[in-house]
Amino acid sequence: MIINISGRTDIINHYSDWLFKRFQEGYALSRNSLFPNSVRRYELSPDKIDCIIFGSKNYAPVLGRIHEITEKFNTYFYYTITAYGKDIEPGIPDIDTSINTFLSLSGIVGTQRMAWRYDPILLTESYTISRHIETFEYIANRLSGRFDRCIFSFVEMYKKHETNLPELIPVTGKDMNTIAQGIGRIAKKYGFALQTCGPEENYARYGIKTSGCVTLDILGKANNLQFRSIKHKGFRKGCHCIESRDIGALNSCLNGCKYCYANKNAQLPRENYALHDPCSPLLIGRLKPADKLETGLQKTFLKPTNQIGNEKKGG
């Protein structure tokens, strides 16, 4: 199975003590976001986990300890660095600080296990098409040769953006094409793979691939693993990712990004953070009497060892 840390919240940036405590104790509990009384237990041991995927906008809190995990588990890291400042991403370090942290993490875990995310791309009077393309090239130049691939997407228009992001300018198909052409040219210039995330238009004409952000092919090549041929079901329409189990919690991210889809509003994360106990197996709160605790299914995606041996003999 694949463990996701985390698409629901930035565990690395705000809950790293809890994270390392979970790996020390060897398990974590995850509350179902749709059925709150349903809680699953996942064993955090190498024999139960094929690979751990990390997603964060600031890995600085774990640079000194991430080896405790990478020395035992197969891993892959998604690091988001965008053009935005504190007006859009108030809880995120500035671009240059983020770049330096990215380079440090890449030096620890290896270039082949690093992906740079530049998303979501949104437009305002300040964050114009030209600014995105210029910033994308600045970051690409600084990170050149230190990551496996770059992934981008365009902002999805949620109803709450009318309140959280009133300055948002709708991105037209023409805008998307211009941006894709611009960053595609930059990717070719610096020699890195560029791909879309989710149900974006096909920009193959600009050298941009359409693929899942998290696929067994990506994880396998990064960690020298051989996976079975498994259909990637994705998480929403147009998504091509392999399924994973997330041990985070919605409405708990303190990054404060105005475009965030995982927080209902700005107040809920602060309220939930007050319930956070670094010693609890749950990210937010503790088990309740009415909770139904179940063992999470942890089925491997790896090819059986004997099958790999037979393929080598056949080759």
pLDDT score of 305: 74
Q: What is the mean pLDDT of the chain?
A: 93
Closest CA to 244 of 82, 74, 120: 74
DSSP 227: B
pLDDT score of 212: 86
Which pLDDT band holds residue 231 (cuts at 50, 70, 90)?
A: confident
pLDDT score of 273: 97
Instruction: Name the least confident of 14-18, 184-188, 296-300, 309-313.
Output: 309-313
pLDDT score of 185: 98
pLDDT score of 163: 75
pLDDT score of 237: 67
pLDDT score of 308: 57
β pairing state of 149-154 and 51-56: unpaired
pLDDT score of 173: 94
Are 146 and 102 contacting, i.e. CB atoms less than 8 angstroms apart? yes
Alpha-carbon distance 112 to 216, whole Å? 14
Q: Which residue has the tokens 């989710």?
A: 198
The pLDDT of 211-221, averaged and rounded, is 93
Alpha-carbon distance 102 to 84, whole Å? 16
Closest CA to 213 of 79, 16, 15: 79
Count the residues in the chain.
Answer: 315
Answer whether residue 154 shows pLDDT above 50.
yes
CA atoms within 13 A on the CB side of 95: 17
Which pLDDT band holds residue 156 (cuts at 50, 70, 90)?
A: confident
Classify residue 181 by burial, with Cβ atoms within 10 Å: 0-12, 13-18, 19+: middle
pLDDT score of 238: 67
Closest CA to 19 of 53, 63, 69: 69
Closest CA to 77 of 58, 91, 96, 49: 58
Which pLDDT band holds residue 306 (cuts at 50, 70, 90)?
A: low
The pLDDT of 140-156, averaged and rounded, is 96
Which pLDDT band holds residue 307 (cuts at 50, 70, 90)?
A: low
Instruction: Name the least confident of 32-41, 84-93, 188-197, 300-309.
Output: 300-309
Answer whether residue 311 shows pLDDT above 70.
no
Note the pLDDT tens digit of each residue in 169-214.
999 999 999 999 999 999 999 999 999 987 668 899 999 998 889 9
How many C-beta atoms lie closer than 10 Å to residue 171's C-beta?
17
For the ranges 7-21, 236-250, 256-270, the one whose mean pLDDT is highest:
7-21
pLDDT score of 287: 96
Note the pLDDT tens digit of each residue in 276-295.
999 999 999 999 999 999 99
Answer whether residue 40 shows pLDDT above 80.
yes
pLDDT score of 62: 98
Report how far Cα 106 is from the mean position of its chain's Cα atoms. 15
Instruction: Name the least confident of 5-9, 222-226, 267-271, 301-305.
Output: 301-305
Answer whether residue 312 shows pLDDT above 50.
no
pLDDT score of 259: 93
